[in-house]
Amino acid sequence: MQSKSRSMHFITKQVSSIFLLMLSGWVYAQPNPQSIELSKIVPIADVHMHTYRQNPRSAKWWHEMMDANGVMWGGAVGDYREDVQAELGNRYIPAVGQPEFFRVFFKDGRSGLTDPENETFKDLYARSEILFKEGKIKGFGEFHTDNHSSGPPGIRRSIRTDNPAMRKFYEIANRYGGFVQIHAEFDGDFEKDILNLSTDYPNTTTVLSHCLSTKDTDYPAAILSKRKNIVCELSSLGAVHVSLLNIPRSPHAFDSGGLYRNWIKFIETYPDQVLLGSDPCCGIDAAYSEIITELRSNVLSYLSPVTIEKVANKNAVRIFSLKNN
Ligand SMILES: [Zn+2]
């Protein structure tokens, strides 16, 4: 009786470990040796690198962090900082508008965010026009239009992305071949809005932050498949952010076991429209090296060598007209 129950227990254990193996085979893929080696050394363009003013790291600190991690270019989200621009030169991807967008939200609420006559926005339109003309900025962002369930609770909100204030940002960017980086989550309204904006302003590239902050790659795929001038970036989708920020859910796209199969398939289907980002937000900038290491070992190494180079830097070089210093 005892030995029978022991063997039953053994069989149950075997079955459950086979099941776990099948499950991990379904979730995880194995990287190939060539991809692993390339991922360690490929230069990176970090298109979600916040250099906040309010919790300032010196421009030199950013420069050293980038050098230490093989990050050749960084930025594409706020805050725009002239000292960082002076320090990094062509390695900076300068964007304006994030602090102003927050200021309007906190002062005038959701209705302020859609009003092109808002004084803060009017100043920003005028200032950005000058900066574009001088070649000092390349775009706008990060604009949180619909982050109702992502990001810090105090800044959560939802507005229509296609609104008169946003159209003005797209119109300015369109004249300079610039970009707008948007943090949003997928729904029917957002899909409709972003497709309309990208049709009406074909020279503006939309960068979707965090590839829409989702586990479901069908959402970014639904949009990327319909427009060449919409791309997405992979920041905050892995285990490092979940753990450092105590986010009460599992990672969306990658963990120490690697890049999830649905994300590999998604990126290999749209290799010209996916970029890398670190998102050292919310006081986790000290973990910059850990974040970049995660991108190299748990994201890039699971892609084909051709796709690795595109996602790591070639797409960004093309979209943001990046140059070596
Ligand atoms: Zn961000």
The answer to whether residue 165 sits within a structural domain is: yes
The answer to whether residue 325 sits within a structural domain is: no
Same domain membership, residue 11 and residue 52: no
CA–centroid distance, residue 279 to ligand 1 (Å)? 5
The answer to whether residue 255 sits within a structural domain is: yes
Same domain membership, residue 6 and residue 48: no
The answer to whether residue 83 sits within a structural domain is: yes
CA–centroid distance, residue 325 to ligand 1 (Å)? 26
Same domain membership, residue 115 and residue 19: no
CA–centroid distance, residue 23 to ligand 1 (Å)? 32
pLDDT in tens, 160-215: 999 999 999 999 999 999 999 999 999 999 999 999 999 999 999 999 999 999 99
CA–centroid distance, residue 74 to ligand 1 (Å)? 13
Same domain membership, residue 193 and residue 213: yes
Number of structural domains in the chain:
2
Same domain membership, residue 13 and residue 133: no
Q: Residue 26: in which H helix or E strand, if any?
A: helix 2-27
CA–centroid distance, residue 132 to ligand 1 (Å)? 22
Which pTM value belongs to this model? 0.91
**CA 277 vs CA 48, 244, 324: distances in Å:** 4, 16, 19
pLDDT at 1: 41
The answer to whether residue 234 sits within a structural domain is: yes
Among the listed residues 106, 105, 101, 90, the one whose alpha carbon sits nearest the alpha carbon of residue 125: 101
Same domain membership, residue 123 and residue 105: yes
Q: What residues sit around ligand 1, an ion, with C-beta below 5 angstroms? A: 142, 279, 281
Same domain membership, residue 8 and residue 58: no
CA–centroid distance, residue 151 to ligand 1 (Å)? 8
CA–centroid distance, residue 119 to ligand 1 (Å)? 24
CA–centroid distance, residue 141 to ligand 1 (Å)? 9
CA–centroid distance, residue 9 to ligand 1 (Å)? 49
Same domain membership, residue 216 and residue 122: yes
User: Residue 128 maps to which CATH number?
Assistant: 3.20.20.140
3-state secondary structure at position 195: helix
Among the listed residues 46, 83, 52, 50, the one whose alpha carbon sits nearest the alpha carbon of residue 66: 46
Per-residue burial over 54-89, b if 16 or more Cβ lie within 10 Å, else e, is eeebebeebbebbeebebbbbbbbbbbbeebbebbe
pLDDT at 150: 76
Same domain membership, residue 264 and residue 131: yes
Same domain membership, residue 201 and residue 288: yes
pLDDT in tens, 39-80: 999 999 999 999 998 777 999 999 999 999 999 999 999 999
Structural domain of 21: 1-30
Per-residue pLDDT band at 86 (split at 50, 70, 90): very high
Same domain membership, residue 273 and residue 237: yes
